[in-house]
Chain A
């Protein structure tokens, strides 16, 4: 039974694309057959994060409009053979996505894959609503900041009203992925507390991903962090989140890295 998951947030820059790539790769590492789909037509990025930017021939728009077959547009990952990418078009805009076309492509993908992870564009317009349209579940990516939390709240409202599932009167399950969590700033009270975010959004927590240089480095190298540095704290947090997505019970641990020797040194210097 294929699961369609939309990774969404409302706000831009919170880590949707990074999370799509990392979760997709982690699920594939667990033996699942996964496709990650870039819905950000006109501002495609997922191909870069996946390191497949020079392998794009056909894209989602070509398939939606019937100009290419699904298998022609899918790009198989070189590191994990059960991980594929459906790139977005960079030269078109979101108006090129048709409702019926997207429905057909998703249906076709359901037959080929176990997991279809849709990377939503920011905003609440056409691109975002079509990305969530056929989802069975949603991963709501949120930073511990008030603006991000409010935008996520808005998106949850749309997930409950504008998706095909919601219109049929069914409930779409939603998961909160708290990203760019900074334990040091959290300790100083400069970020919203996890429990406050959970209270406002009142959806179950999928995981807490720490702000990490490993994530940035992996993105720039064109590899999901779960492939590039699987031992890092961020990658482990993503891997655990992927397990929870598969229904396993894994306790959520707060990423509190012990400050490194240099961290201590600089910390003291800053005080002095």
Chain B
């Protein structure tokens, strides 16, 4: 699975949107491979090197570029392998539909791998502030609370039999079916397959309630279960 980032002119504005996204979800790009789609950049004198460097400064791990115009030289030098056939068109990457973000807010995760095999992880204690549980394939169940400043990242769904005060990020592998369940909602952030909500975006009426969150099209829905 790789994320496709498609910078659009004006690049400065696009980076502002990216920074806003990173500020809301600082660990979003952690350990996630990223492909940069250069197709939208202007044909004449694009500052690809500067762009790649600016992405690297944000800790984004670039595994390749695609969509570079054949007239541009030294693309390989800028950002790893070129995933194009040299004619400016992307080489067919299996199960990797071309990313076409409608708005400048960039990350759109597209699964390249099959659905992860479900191997669940059970944690029978409170996940404390500063701890990060990453389970890339399958569900995570916490019998206890997730503290403020702690995070759970799961390939599948997340079940918390306690208070969720930190972050829960489900559907890491691109599973749109993933859901988040918790006994008491005090979360800093909920995310499913790249779609996220911060505490400010959540209905205050749901505060402290038992809830589930799921993807409803491109939006995340949260509903009380008590």
Please report A residues at the B interface, Cβ cutoff 8 Å.
Answer: 124, 150-151, 153-154, 156-158, 160, 199-200, 202
Are A157 and B165 within 8 A (Cβ)? no
Sorted nearest first, the 3 A-B pairs with minimum C-beta distance are: A157-B128, A153-B129, A154-B129
Determine whether B65 belongs to the interface, using a CB cutoff of 8 Å to chain A. Answer: no
Are B130 and A154 within 8 A (Cβ)? yes
Please report B residues at the A interface, Cβ cutoff 8 Å.
Answer: 125-131, 144-145, 147-150, 163, 165
Q: List 11 A-B contacts (CB under 8 A).
A: A150-B147, A151-B129, A153-B128, A153-B148, A153-B149, A157-B128, A157-B150, A158-B130, A160-B125, A200-B145, A200-B163
Q: A160-B128, A200-B165, A202-B126 are in contact. Are A150 and B148 (CB under 8 A)?
A: yes
Are B144 and A150 within 8 A (Cβ)? no
Known interface pairs A151-B129, A153-B128; 13 further A-B residue pairs with C-beta atoms within 8 A, sorted by A's residue number: A124-B130, A150-B147, A153-B129, A154-B130, A157-B131, A157-B150, A158-B130, A200-B145, A200-B147, A200-B148, A200-B165, A202-B126, A202-B144
Are A202 and B129 within 8 A (Cβ)? no
Q: How far is the CA of A200 from the CA of B130 in the complex (A)?
A: 14
Q: How far is the CA of A150 from the CA of B144 in the complex (A)?
A: 16
Closest to B148 in A: A150
Are A150 and B149 within 8 A (Cβ)? yes
- For the complex formed, measure the closest distance between the CB of B140 and the CB atoms of chain A, giving whole angstroms: 17
Q: A200-B147, A202-B144, A202-B145 are in contact. Are A156 and B165 (CB under 8 A)?
A: no
Q: How far is the CA of A151 from the CA of B128 in the complex (A)?
A: 10
Q: How far is the CA of A158 from the CA of B128 in the complex (A)?
A: 9
- For the complex formed, measure the closest distance between the CB of A110 and the CB atoms of chain B, giving whole angstroms: 28
Most chain B beta-carbon contacts within 10 A, residue among A153, A154, A160 = A153
Closest to A202 in B: B126
Q: How far is the CA of A202 from the CA of B127 in the complex (A)?
A: 11
Most chain A beta-carbon contacts within 10 A, residue among B129, B144, B150, B163 = B129
Residues of A within 8 A of B126 (CB): 202
Residues of B within 8 A of A153 (CB): 128-129, 147-149
- For the complex formed, measure the closest distance between the CB of A239 and the CB atoms of chain B, giving whole angstroms: 30
Q: How far is the CA of A186 from the CA of B147 in the complex (A)?
A: 23
- For the complex formed, measure the closest distance between the CB of B142 and the CB atoms of chain A, giving whole angstroms: 13
Residues of B within 8 A of A150 (CB): 129, 147-149
Residues of A within 8 A of B163 (CB): 199-200
Are A154 and B144 within 8 A (Cβ)? no
Residues of A within 8 A of B125 (CB): 160
Residues of A within 8 A of B130 (CB): 124, 154, 157-158
Are B129 and A157 within 8 A (Cβ)? yes
Closest to A200 in B: B147
Most chain A beta-carbon contacts within 10 A, residue among B128, B144, B149, B150 = B128
Are B165 and A154 within 8 A (Cβ)? no
- For the complex formed, measure the closest distance between the CB of A205 and the CB atoms of chain B, giving whole angstroms: 16
Residues of B within 8 A of A199 (CB): 163
